[in-house]
Amino acid sequence: MILEITPPRSAVSGYVFRAYFEKVLPRVIRLSTGSAEAELLLRYYWDTIAHCVPADAILESLRSSGFVDVKHRARGGLISEYIGSKSP
């Protein structure tokens, strides 16, 4: 199983989530950990979400690696779940 955060499809939701991941979450992390490095890491976390590999490419990669019964499910529009079984 692979889990990843999926960028919202709606422009409004995308704006809200981007603001949360780039502005709010880094500050919360800095306050809770006291770590400037953790804050910096979270500031760039949205970039990794926004530039995720497309679902079709992940599914094809899993299949070509020998996984069977490969499926992709979106959960709540925020989480992508990729499931597969290794063939015997």
Nearest to 75 by CA among 3, 15, 25: 3
Whether residue 57 contacts residue 82, with contact meaning beta carbons closer than 8 Å, is answered with no
What was the pLDDT predicted at 87? 78
Q: What is the pLDDT of residues 28-71, one digit of tens each?
A: 999 999 999 999 888 888 888 888 888 999 999 999 999 999 99
Domain that holds residue 16: 2-86
- The side-by-side arrangement of strands in the sheet containing 2-5 is 2-5, 79-86, 67-75
Q: How many CA atoms lie within 13 A of 9 on its CB side?
A: 6
Overall number of domains in the chain:
1
Q: How far does CA 61 lie from the centroid of its chain?
A: 17
Nearest to 25 by CA among 40, 10, 6, 8: 40
